[in-house]
Amino acid sequence: MRLLPWLVLLVLVIYVVRKKIRNAVDAQARGARQERPAELDGETMVRCEECGIHIPVSEALPGPGGRVFCSEEHRTRNASS
């Protein structure tokens, strides 16, 4: 019977230590998710009016009427048609 309080105390200590470790790991994971570089979040893709290939909007070339193209060649070819 003298052993029971020690066992309860041991279980309580193990529980508290495990909970603190779990919280620390979760906090670290949340921090890692928030610190992701912007380029890993992705970018909007647009479709070339001439060939249909999808390219990032930052690489697209604007054309007449709000259309976008993947290259200068496709933009000039479409402008003449």
Return all residues near 51 (Cβ < 8 A) that are at least 6 apart: 70, 74
The residue count for the chain: 81
- Whole-model pTM: value is 0.47
46 and 76 belong to one structural domain = yes
Q: What domain count does the chain have?
A: 2
28 and 44 belong to one structural domain = no
| DSSP annotation string for the chain | --HHHHHHHHHHHHHHHHHHHHHHHHHHHHHHHHT--GGGG---EEE-TTT--EEETTTPEE-GGG-EESSHHHHHHHHH-
18 and 50 belong to one structural domain = no
- Give the structural domain span for 65: 40-80
Phi, psi angle pair for 46, to nearest 5°: -125, 160
- Res 27 pLDDT > 90: no
Span 20-48, average pLDDT: 79
Supply the mean pLDDT for the chain: 86
Could you report the per-residue pLDDT of 39-76, keeping only the tens digit for each?
Answer: 556 788 999 999 999 999 999 999 888 899 999 999 88
